[in-house]
Structures are given as C-alpha cells and as structure tokens.
Chain A
Amino acid sequence: MNPFIFNCPTKVCFAEGSSSSVAEHLADLGAKSPFLITDEFLLKNNIIAPALSALEERFGKVSIYSDVPPDSDLECINKVAKNAKDAGADSIVAIGGGSVIDTAKVVNICLTLGGDILSHQGLNAIETKLFPLIVIPTTAGTGSEVSYVAMIKHHVEKRKIVFGSKFLAPDIALLDPMMQLTLPAKLTAATGMDALTHAIESVVCEITGSSFSDALATEAARMIFKWLPVATADGGDLEARSNMLVASCMAGSAFSNAGVGIVHALAHSTGARFNTHHGLTNAIFLPHGMRFNQSVAQAKYAQLSRQLGFSKTLDDNEGTATLIDSVENLLKQLNLPSRLELIGVPKLNESELQQWANDAVDDPSTMFNPKELTVQDAIEIYKRAY
C-alpha cells in the first residue's frame, strides 16, 4: 500500500436551519468581532437573514461585504480586507458559493498576516493559524468549505493565483440545505458537476489517494448520480438538496487529500481566460479527461463503475466506457451544454491555443493526474471538446 496522509481539520455540522447556529459556534472559537462576507443576491433575498440576526444578537452590529463577484479577484480581496481591518474584525463568516468562500479564505490571510497578498501565494506558504473562519456554503459543488485551497483571479495576467495550506481549511462548515433553495436549476446542475468531478478525479489520483479519500469520493459520486437530477428538477426538494450538500462536502474532503487532475487543469485555464463557470467547464471536460486517462486508470474507473452499480463486468475497458456513458447521460439529463462553444468559449487560433494549453499543462492539478498531460494532448482535448 502507498503511504498516505488524510486530514480533515474542518468541523462539519449538518442540520436544516443550522445557519442560525453560526453565532454560537463563533463565540466558542473565541471571536468577538466577526466580519461577514457574502454576495448581493444572497443579501438582497434575505438568504443570510437567519445567520445575520443570530450574529447581531450575539455580537451587536456586524460589518458586511456583499459585493463579491463570481470568481473573485485581487481587487476585490484588497477592498474586503481593508473593510474588515477597518472594522476591527477578529474572525470571518462566509455565506455563499465557492467564490465567496475563496474570497473569505484569502481575506483571512490578509487580515491575520498583513502584507501584500501576492507575497502569501504558493503551496504551504501559510504556516500559522489564521483567524477563526466559519463558512456556510450556498451552492453544492466546490467543497471549498473543507478544502485547503483558494483561488483568486489575476485579471491582468489572466490566470488564477493559488493559495494552498492546511491553515486555509475553515474551522467550521455549517451545512444548511435551506440556504440552497433559491439556487437556480442551471447552477444547481453546474455546481453539482464540479462535485462529481472532484469525486471522479480524486479516485484516480494514484500517488496521493487512499482508502479514506476513495471511500468519501465513491459515496459522494453515488449520492450525486442519484440526487443531482432530483435537486436540479425540483430545487425545493430538501432531501435532494441535503444529499447534494453532504456529497459535495465529502468530495471536497476527498480531493483536498488526494488532489484533482487534468479536468480541473483544463477548466482553470479556460475559466481564467473566458470567465466560464467552473462547474460547467469541468462538466464539459470530464468525459474527455476520463477518456484521456483511460489507458492508465481504467481499473479504478471500472471499479467505481461497479461500485456505483453501473456495470458488473470485470472487463476494465468496458467498465470505464460504462462510467463515461453514465457521466454523459447525466449531463444530458441535466440539460447542460456538452461543448465549449456552447458556453461562450471562442474558437482559438494556433497561438492562442498554444498559450491556453501551456497554462493547462502548468496548472498544479496536473501533478496529481495519473497520466502526464502534454501541450499537444491538451490541444487535442480542446478540439474534441469544442
């Protein structure tokens, strides 16, 4: 057996309505002056109301930043960090999707350590405990509520800046399905596909994966195949919302320990250039990435296919094909676009394609992929996915 490390420092609490327990949890962590980060939709539609009133009851007036854009950027981080500092914040609450949660993680670095944010980028570069951070995810996809990473856009360089450290894992993730009821069908489907991509990619990360990450990823995949179509068709189905929320958190824990792979690398390079949604972009690349990895990862894919009840065959090629078919059928069932062109990615000329492929190959996610990705491979996948 390969050596492995498995770690999940975040305390995960699930309950309907649990967002209002945030104040109590925060007080337990010793916080006195929390700062709330969210987005405009969630503020205007009162989705954060139960959490906010609990916080105000306990801590008095709470400063809020609610202007976080999808795929937050450096400018936003600097603005929020200044606001939080000026407010004398000693802790952060993030209520939102991956964009809000990643923003909160990076703002917490600025707030705790100070200095230029770019000086903290890197892997394991944060070496001390940060201020208390509680997150309440309002999408079920990114797993950022338990992950050790945060990614922020660098608009000028058209790339994502990576922050990775075990100290970035939030202290507490409050999983409250009531926070998801307003998530539109398309975003439900797209974010859910992000979670499925985490599960499927982490299962084939050979060097860093373990039985722990496999168990979480496999169960998460089972729940997603079953409940994502339900949550997408009926956003008010609390059982489906609950299952998706838990599944995405489990897949988050799996990939935080095992890693993700080329599907994420391709999606990062695409998202940074063309502002495509992370989950949607992953959804398009997922079957292509699996076909690319098939020659080295078919045993793992086939095993997953059997565990999910999609195939019985002991023929790994056949099992893998069935799993890929199941992913493609799920995409159809969810009414998600299956080609890059359909999500607004322009047709790239040779030199643009080369640059896009270079960025994908250089993405840290490729390190965990079971098969090496070359620039030529990435270009071929782009052409097939276009």
Chain B
Amino acid sequence: MSFFANTQELEMVMKGLWTAIKEDPDIAGPLIKSGLVVRFHYREPEGRLTVDCSDNQNMVIIWGECDIKPDVEMFMKSEVAHEFWRGAVSVPMYLIAGKIVAKGPVNQALSLLPAIKPAFKKYPDVVQQTLNRTLVSK
C-alpha cells in the first residue's frame, strides 16, 4: 500500500517539499542554473508535478496538467517517490529494475541528483507539517 492515501495527500507533500526546496538557495541554485523543465508523473495514486527552471532565474512549481514542454520526464509509483525522498532508494538499482523511467536527456536529469540530495533532510518535516505524520528514520 502506498504511503499516500490519495492524490490530495501526494499533492500536499510534493508541493510542500518543492516549495521548501525553492526557498533554500543552496539546493534551488543548481537546479535553477540547469535551466531544465522536469515533470514527474506519479501513479498509485496519480499526480503530475512540473518544476520549471527554464528562465534560469526562478523555480516555478506546477501541480497537475500543464502545457509547458518538459526537457526530462520521470515516471514512477508514488511510493517510489516517497522512498526516494526518504533517502531509501538506490537510483541505479531502481533504474535497472525498471521502477523508474527517465525520458529525455538522462545525463542532464541524473546530473541533478547530487544537487537535490540535501533536500532529503527536509522531507520528514514536510510530511509532519502537511500530513501530521512522523516518519521513522530508515
């Protein structure tokens, strides 16, 4: 069973997390510099999140369908996203297992991984604030 009971829970947590990332210049800086538009497609429960850094100035976070053309798209179960942000996912292993699909120039997508790793620390707080649930650290 997924950690997220429904799309609304997923939306609250992912929007909350990306807002926290946006407000932290150390993490947001390299992402904005990349100029990439990345779209996450979640399933079980469903959700779409687009992070648009295309103007190299700002990070725009859009939940749901939108017309902006992404450079890179990542597809995964919501549970995989949850485990990822908890720091419990080995990305190479999940890619080999086919649990993560990366469409687009993968070099660029994967190069952002080290940049977003510091956000793992923010995840438990975001979950606490949005869903009032405490994550037991793994």
Nearest residue (CB) in A for B98 is: A124
> Are A207 and B102 closer than 8 Å at their CB atoms?
no
In whole angstroms, how far apart are the Cα atoms of A123 and B104 in the complex?
8
B96's contact among A127, A161, A208, by CB below 8 Å, is which? A208
Residue on B nearest A119 in the bound complex, by CB? B103
Please classify the interface of chain A as helix (H, G, I), strand (E, B), loop, or mixed, using the class held by over half of its residues.
Answer: mixed
Q: Is A367 an interface residue (CB 8 A)?
A: yes
- Whether B102 and A124, one on each chain, are in contact in the complex, defined by CB atoms closer than 8 angstroms, is yes
0 or 1 for each of B116-135: is its CB under 8 Å from A? (1 = yes): 00000000000000000000
A49-57, A86-94, A355-363 - the one binding chain B: A355-363
Considering only CB atoms and an 8 Å cut-off, how many residues of chain A contact the other chain? 27
Is there an interface contact between B105 and A121, defined as CB atoms closer than 8 Å?
yes
Which residues does chain B contribute within 8 Å of A259, judged by CB atoms? 92, 96
Whether the pair B107, A125 counts as a contact (CB closer than 8 A) is: no
CA gap between A122 and B111 in the complex, in Å: 14
Does B101 lie at the interface of the complex (its beta carbon under 8 Å from any beta carbon of A)?
yes
Contact: A123 with B95, CB < 8 Å?
yes
CA distance A259 to B114 in the complex (A): 19
Chain B residues near A362 (CB-CB < 8 A): 107-108, 110-111
Bound together, the chains give a CA A3 to CA B100 distance in angstroms of 17
Asked if B91 is an interface residue, CB under 8 A from chain A, the answer is: yes
* Binary contact readout B70-101 vs A (1 if CB under 8 angstroms, 0 otherwise): 00110000000000000000111101111011
Q: Shortest Cβ distance from B99 into chain A, in angstroms?
A: 9
Question: What residue of chain B has the Cβ atom nearest to residue A362's Cβ?
Answer: B111
- Of all chain A residues, the one with the shortest Cβ separation from B109 is A122
Instruction: Name which residue of chain B comes closest to A269, CB basis.
Output: B107
**In the bound complex, what is the Cα–Cα distance between A259 and B108 (angstroms)?**
19
CB nearest to B72 among chain A residues: A122
Q: Is A198 at the interface (CB under 8 A from chain B)?
A: no
> Do B96 and A257 touch across chains, with their CB atoms under 8 A apart?
yes
In the complex, whether B68 has a CB less than 8 A from a CB of chain A is: no
B95's nearest neighbour on chain A, judged by CB, is A123
User: Complex: how many Å from CA A159 to CA B105?
Assistant: 10
Task: Say which residue of A159, A166, A364, A367 sits within 8 Å of B98 (CB atoms).
Answer: A166
Separation of A359 and B111 alpha carbons in the complex (Å): 9
Say if the beta carbon of B106 comes within 8 Å of chain A: yes
Nearest B residue to A157 via CB reads B105
Q: Are B111 and A208 in contact (CB under 8 A)?
A: no
Given contacts A161-B105, A207-B90, contact A124 B110 (CB under 8 A): no
- Partner among A5, A125, A363, A372 whose Cβ is within 8 Å of the Cβ of B102: A125
By a CB distance below 8 angstroms, the chain A residues around B100 are 123-124
Which B residues are CB-close (under 8 A) to A363?
107
Q: How far is the CB of A36 from chain B (nearest CB, A)?
A: 30
**Cβ–Cβ < 8 Å partners of A372 in chain B:** 114
Interface centre among B73, B91, B100, B102 (most CB of A within 10 A): B102
Q: Would you list the 4 A-B pairs with minimal beta carbon distance, nearest first?
A: A362-B111, A122-B103, A124-B101, A125-B103
Offer 13 A-B interface pairs, CB within 8 angstroms, sorted by A: A5-B97, A121-B105, A122-B106, A123-B100, A123-B106, A124-B98, A124-B101, A127-B101, A161-B105, A207-B90, A362-B110, A367-B92, A368-B92
- Known: A119-B103, A162-B105; 7 extra A-B contacts, CB below 8 A, are A122-B105, A124-B100, A125-B101, A161-B105, A164-B95, A166-B98, A207-B90
